[in-house]
Amino acid sequence: MTTSNRPARNIGDLSTPAVLVDIDALEHNLATMSKRLPGALLRPHIKAHKSTALAELQRRYGHRNFTCATVREMIGMAHAGLSDDLLLANEVLDEERLAALSALQDRAMITIAVDSDATVDAAARAGIKHVLIDVNIGLARCGCAPSDAGRLAQRARAKGIIVRGVMGYEGHLMVAADRAVQLSDTLAAMDTLWAAGEAAGGDVISAGGTGNYDLHASHLATTGVTEVQAGSYVLMDTYYSTLGLPFRQALSILGTVVSSHDKWAVADVGLKSLGMDHGDPKIADHKVWFCSDEHITFATEKSAGAASRAPQPGVGSRVRIVPSHVDPTMAMHEYLWLVRGDEVLDRWPIDLRGW
């Protein structure tokens, strides 16, 4: 790891691994999404970046309602004053954590997802005032059976809880080779969610993500969806880059080459710096061989028409590594560096990590 006591002005001054966020790509992504899903039509999912500073920038682009994945994110957003309307889009049974959310309700609109008698009852015991009924619309994760949404809503109301509506996440449809099939399957999932919403009551139908945000934007009148929970669009990763979406790659992890050989090189960015559940990271003009705890091993690719590969980068060289999954990558780091090219503009804390 390289170190410096001087204020960073260039990425060459940074200790590595370092999270880099390109300001021009970031603002392009924010502007592009805000035009397609303005204001309350987008409820940005902050699990993708876990930074109140970045959430504040999203608010400047018109989005004042946010989706959170953890109680820690909810509390941090409320304390930062980003609390117009916060949704915890995950089920929680821990009554101590739920009580911490309940204590915020005088200063923030707090809503949590419920999908069972147990989660409804836990919310009621903690004094939670607002819920969405989480409905299973095809992803084998959380969510009640669509036919049970009305009953759960009645149970919640009987306990004095306001049921604002329903939510569902069609995460299995975020990446698809055939966009026509993706559209058809998304519309079918929304039909299921809409019917559950009719049974549950309330004004909110919340769904979607980065991978099909545009399908939702084009069919809001048909589906009845009132808000889309996209998050990865802000920074992007290799998982979504295959879809041809109009968002630019803003995120990379800066590494230092610490060992170099005839056929490969090694940088100080490994499994403890990268979310790997969606595949290997990428390095431009290089092929990634594998990652270990603290290292990434890679080789220069032979360019078209070249008789041989270019030399491997030497020890001390810097490389930018693009992760395959933005959310867990951000959770591994304490702060991000806002950059333009090689110039460092600012440092922002990744302050919403943890649970």
Same domain, 55 and 165: yes
In percent, the amount of the chain with pLDDT more than 70 equals 96
* pLDDT for the residue 340: 97
* pLDDT for the residue 7: 56
Determine the residue type at 139.
Answer: L
Does residue 117 contact residue 155 with C-beta atoms inside 8 Å?
yes
Does residue 58 contact residue 38 with C-beta atoms inside 8 Å?
no
Same domain, 90 and 175: yes
* Residue tagged 């604002």 (tokens): 164
CA-to-CA separations, 132 to 114, 182, 203, in angstroms, rounded = 6, 25, 10
Whether the CA torsion 24, 25, 30, 32 is positive or negative: it is positive
Question: What average pLDDT does this structure show over 255-281?
Answer: 96
Is the pLDDT at 175 greater than 70? The verdict is yes
Domain containing 34 — which CATH number? Answer: 3.20.20.10
Which structural domain, as residue segments, surrounds residue 280? Answer: 11-19+245-349
Question: What average pLDDT does this structure show over 126-137?
Answer: 98
Buried b / exposed e over 134-149, threshold 16 CB at 10 Å, is bbbbbeeebbbebebb
Closest CA to 33 of 63, 75, 6: 63
Same domain, 321 and 208: no
* pLDDT for the residue 303: 57
* 198 located within any domain: yes
Same domain, 157 and 288: no
Is the pLDDT at 119 greater than 90? The verdict is yes
* pLDDT for the residue 308: 64
According to DSSP, the β-strands at 318-321 and 296-300 are: unpaired
Is the pLDDT at 306 greater than 70? The verdict is no
Instruction: Report residue 177's pLDDT band, with 50, 70 and 90 as the boundaries.
Output: confident
Is the pLDDT at 192 greater than 70? The verdict is yes
* pLDDT for the residue 4: 43
Same domain, 36 and 54: yes
Same domain, 28 and 160: yes
171 DSSP 8-state letter: G
Is the pLDDT at 252 greater than 80? The verdict is yes
Is the pLDDT at 3 greater than 60? The verdict is no
* pLDDT for the residue 305: 54
309 DSSP 8-state letter: P
User: Given 234, 264, 282, which residue is the final one in a domain?
Assistant: 234
From 14-23, 182-191, 304-313, the region with the lowest mean pLDDT: 304-313
* pLDDT for the residue 280: 94
Q: pLDDT tens across 78-98, in order?
A: 999 999 999 999 999 999 999
Return the percent helix, strand and coil in the chain, to nearest 5.
35, 25, 40
* pLDDT for the residue 307: 58
Q: pLDDT tens across 288-299, in order?
A: 999 999 999 999
Determine the residue type at 226.
Answer: T
* 173 located within any domain: yes
* 355 located within any domain: no
Q: pLDDT tens across 24-55, in order?
A: 999 999 999 999 999 999 999 999 999 999 99
Question: What average pLDDT does this structure show over 226-250?
Answer: 95
Same domain, 221 and 295: no
**Which two structure tokens, joined as six digits, stand for 227?**
């808000």
Question: What average pLDDT does this structure show over 221-225?
Answer: 95
Closest CA to 268 of 225, 321, 339: 321
In percent, the amount of the chain with pLDDT more than 90 equals 92
Same domain, 147 and 219: yes
Stated as kind and residue range, the H or E segment containing 43 is: none
* 284 located within any domain: yes
Residue 256 contacts by C-beta under 8 Å, 6 or more apart in sequence? 1, 2, 16, 267, 268, 316, 317, 318, 319
Is the pLDDT at 190 greater than 80? The verdict is yes
Residue 221 contacts by C-beta under 8 Å, 6 or more apart in sequence? none
Domain containing 307 — which CATH number? Answer: 2.40.37.20
* 287 located within any domain: yes
* 281 located within any domain: yes
Same domain, 216 and 333: no
User: Given 208, 234, 260, which residue is the final one in a domain?
Assistant: 234
Q: pLDDT tens across 50-78, in order?
A: 999 999 999 999 999 999 999 999 999 99
Same domain, 276 and 169: no
* 156 located within any domain: yes
Same domain, 215 and 95: yes
Instruction: Report residue 238's pLDDT band, with 50, 70 and 90 as the boundaries.
Output: very high
Mean pLDDT over the full length of the chain: 95
Buried b / exposed e over 26-45, threshold 16 CB at 10 Å, is beebbebbbebbeeebbbbb
* 47 located within any domain: yes
Does residue 237 contact residue 326 with C-beta atoms inside 8 Å?
yes
Same domain, 15 and 56: no
* pLDDT for the residue 301: 83
How many domains is the chain partitioned into structurally? 2
Question: What average pLDDT does this structure show over 169-188?
Answer: 95
Q: pLDDT tens across 311-330, in order?
A: 899 999 999 999 999 999 99
Max CA separation in the chain (angstroms): 75
According to DSSP, the β-strands at 18-22 and 343-349 are: unpaired
Instruction: Report residue 5's pLDDT band, with 50, 70 and 90 as the boundaries.
Output: very low
User: Given 234, 266, 294, which residue is the final one in a domain?
Assistant: 234
Does residue 280 contact residue 324 with C-beta atoms inside 8 Å?
yes
**Which two structure tokens, joined as six digits, stand for 298?**
């890679």
